[in-house]
Amino acid sequence: MSRQLGRGKAHAKAILLGEHAVVYGHPAIAVPVLSLQAWAEARFDPSLDDIIIELPHNGRAYSLQRDPQQPLVQAAALILQHLGATASNLRIRLRSQIPAASGLGSSAAVAAALIRAVSNLFDAKLRPATLSELVFQVEQVQHGTPSGIDNTVIAFERPVYFRKGQPPCFLPLPVPLHLVLADSGRPSLTRESVAAVREQREQDPAHVDAVLSCLGALAEEGRQALEQGDLVALGRCLSAAHELLAAIQVSNESLDRLVAAALEAGALGAKLTGGGRGGHVIALVEPESAEPVVEALRSAGAARATLCRIGRGCRVQ
Ligand code: MEV
């Protein structure tokens, strides 16, 4: 059974605590950012003898015949294989509001939207765990050694406490979180920042391992704070994590400036999020101090600064 048109969407994510450390087996916490989304539409096109993936928002297009190794082409091939379907005349169109290479999970979200659209075209139901596994495989093509946190939070659409190789633990939020997302305006590839940390670790294992352990301990502390609704303690964890991420060279001058500006304007805590070396800063705020923090981040050079609310359930569907 198939339809005329399959649709899928997925949202961005933000890592609250534990990025980079999670690659080495330490815990991390991530939340879905439902206000930023990627969408996909899939349809059969009798004029094609190929699978074409179009991304009009950045003027790119990929094809199974020309770009078989491209991660989104791989995503299409993986879901077709999973469904036991063959399709040599598929046109998939993607749109995304999530800035690419900016720490918000754009690559995993776009792949998840595509996979959902193709499975919707074939009228198939995809369990979140299956979607997560398929996106993980795409992330391996894209990033090399992903921990699995991005595909998990994006597929399950719930705040997650995550440890590589262990079942994800979903966290109820007793109070909503208000996060300001500030874009440094400098894209940065996760693959490269993960490789840079790996190289540093080879050169100075004692220092890097000590920092990664402290980042993992902060994720534990942050989990308790989150579960108790103690936003002041959570904010302290975020700011401490930024210092530690800076100690393994994944911050830079513009990220440090944004973090300092957010704290100065009254944020409870602030840090870079995701791979770092560019991308986004997140600032945890009380709703009443959101506006001054947004303003301070813009004045400090953020290309964009927007408030988003992370609610209790967080599920889109
Ligand atoms: C990327 O969103 C987070 C990193 O920890 C990499 C990963 O977990 O795969 C930097």
Q: What is the pLDDT of residues 223-254, one digit of tens each?
A: 999 999 999 999 999 999 999 999 999 999 99
pLDDT one-digit tens code per residue, 30-59 = 999 999 999 999 999 999 999 999 999 888
Give the pocket of ligand 1 (CB within 6 Å).
15, 19-20, 22-23, 146-147, 149-150, 190, 194, 274-275
Q: How confident is the model at residue 114 (pLDDT cuts 50, 70, 90)?
A: very high
| Third-level CATH fold of 172-310 | Alpha-Beta Plaits (3.30.70)
Ligand 1 atom closest to the CA of 146, numbered from 1: 9
* DSSP designation for 99: P
**C-alpha distances out from residue 292 to 36, 243, 254, 262, 285, Å:** 22, 23, 19, 9, 10
For residue 181, is pLDDT > 50? yes
User: Residue 313: what pLDDT?
Assistant: 52
The reported pLDDT for the residue numbered 316 is: 41
Test site for ligand 1: of 13, 16, 23, 106, most ligand atoms within 8 A of the Cβ: 23
The alpha carbon of 258 and the centre of ligand 1 are apart by a number of angstroms equal to: 21
What pLDDT was estimated at residue 2? 79
Query: What does the pLDDT read at residue 317?
Result: 31
Mean of per-residue pLDDT scores for the chain: 95
What separation in Å is there between the alpha carbon of 103 and the centre of ligand 1?
8
Q: Which two three-digit tokens encode residue 136?
A: 């993980």
Closest CA to 78 of 135, 142, 143: 135
The full DSSP string for 10-44 is EEEEEEEE-TTGGGGT--EEEEEEEEEEEEEEEEE
pLDDT of 257 > 80? The answer is yes
| Domain parsing of the chain, residue ranges | 6-169, 172-310
Q: Give pLDDT tens digits for 196-205.
A: 999 999 999 9
Number of other CB atoms surrounding residue 24 within 10 Å: 17
Closest to 78 in 3D by CA, of 150, 5, 142 = 142
Q: Which CATH architecture has domain 6-169?
A: 2-Layer Sandwich (3.30)
99 confidence band (pLDDT: 50, 70, 90)? very high
pLDDT at 312 over 80: no
Cα 198 to chain centroid, rounded: 20
- Whether pLDDT at 302 is above 50: yes
Q: Which residues are catalytic?
A: 150
Question: pLDDT tens-digit profile of 147-157?
Answer: 999 999 999 99
Average pLDDT over residues 91-106: 96
